[in-house]
Structure 1
């Protein structure tokens, strides 16, 4: 259900929708999930059909919701199960996770 946004928010949603569309085009399609991150806004997590992933941050949940609706992507309630399994990680992610989580090598 789309909500009416103020002009500035509507422009931000349109810009985010364009970025989501570009991501989807570069990755053979995309799905997403919205994650509220407090006063910073809402993270739009994107997963491409090829396993590529990325994220964008919208200033509010309403702007994020409008952006994904305009982009026409499927949005999941949670980042789990089959959706999470679509993400492909490489050496960079594993090195970074190890460096942050268990004292592994740090990224340069």
Structure 2
């Protein structure tokens, strides 16, 4: 039986553009790993952690497009953002002041 699943050309183009962004991040940061997080109707967030510990994210309109993008980019994808994967993130003074501010009277979160 023939495969009758339709491919949405707009979704394919979006996944390809996201894959280029992910690949660019990986090139700039000595490789990359990621995690796809479902955001409800807003789509999905792809959290990226570079080999150097820098991190960033990109957003996709759906989990399906996010998954295609990370597959096209060829990065390792984790189920959760915890454990060894989370420990790879390097945080700087800005992140620490923001986290402390939320907890103990530092800079506001808004």
TM-score normalised by L of structure 2: 0.89
Tell which deviates more after alignment, 90-99 or 79-88. Answer: 90-99
Q: CA deviation at 1:95?
A: 1.1
Map of 2:43 onto structure 1? 41
Say yes or no: does 1:69 pair with 2:71: yes
Relative distance call for 1:5 and 1:64 in structure 2 (3 A) is farther
SS in 1 for 2:66: helix
Deviation at 1:4, TM superposition (A): 6.2
**Alignment counterpart, residue 103 of structure 1, candidates 102, 105, 109:** 105
Q: Which has the larger radius of gyration?
A: 2
- In the alignment of these two chains, the number of paired residues is 105
RMSD over aligned Cα atoms:
1.6
Alignment gaps of 5+ in structure 1:
none
Structure 1 outlier segments of 4+, above 3 Å: none
* Pair 82,68 (structure 1): closer, same or farther in 2 beyond 3 Å: same
Structure 2 stretches lacking a partner, 5+ long: none
Q: 1:37 deviation in Å?
A: 0.8
1:105 shift after superposition: 2.4
- Contact 1:95–1:106 (Cα < 8 Å) also in 2: no
